[in-house]
């Protein structure tokens, strides 16, 4: 049975996506590790790349890599340290301000 999900609706048009749901329910107990592996596998099948991040430094390194790829630009270590400390992780800003900056004011970064 086909299903439709509305992606966008305006006064002029509506965009929908058609998909056929596939049964993925397991009848057995799934521990947390198995559930995590199944979730990673499902995302990988959808084109996502698994990156093993174990600590804050790994996360920051991945952020740098992704920003460099996105902008076709390579930071020097000095540029990255300044950019990260003053624009992304400014100690004078709280979590709300940092979140707003990333989500709403991305061009100011």
Domains of the chain: 56-104 (3.90.640.50)
Q: Report strand pairing: 3-9 vs 14-19.
A: antiparallel
CB neighbour list of residue 80: distance below 8 Å, 6 or more residues apart: 64
With beta carbons less than 8 A apart as the criterion, state whether 17 and 7 touch: yes
Separation CA 83–CA 106 (nearest Å): 13
- In the chain, count of helices (H) and strands (E)? 4, 2
Residue-level pLDDT, tens digit, the chain, 109 residues: 456 677 777 777 777 777 677 777 767 788 999 999 999 999 999 999 999 999 999 999 999 999 999 889 999 999 999 999 998 898 999 999 888 887 887 666 5
């Amino acid at each position: 049975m086909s299903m439709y999900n509305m992606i966008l609706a305006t006064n002029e048009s509506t965009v929908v996506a058609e998909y056929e749901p596939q049964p993925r329910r397991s009848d057995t107990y799934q521990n947390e590790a198995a559930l995590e592996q199944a979730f990673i596998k499902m995302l990988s099948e959808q084109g996502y790349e698994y990156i093993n991040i174990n600590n804050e430094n790994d996360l920051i390194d991945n952020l740098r890599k992704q920003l460099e790829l996105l902008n076709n630009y390579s930071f020097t270590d000095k540029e990255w340290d300044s950019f990260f400390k003053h624009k992304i992780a400014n100690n004078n800003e709280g979590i709300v301000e940092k979140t707003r900056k990333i989500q709403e004011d991305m061009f100011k970064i």
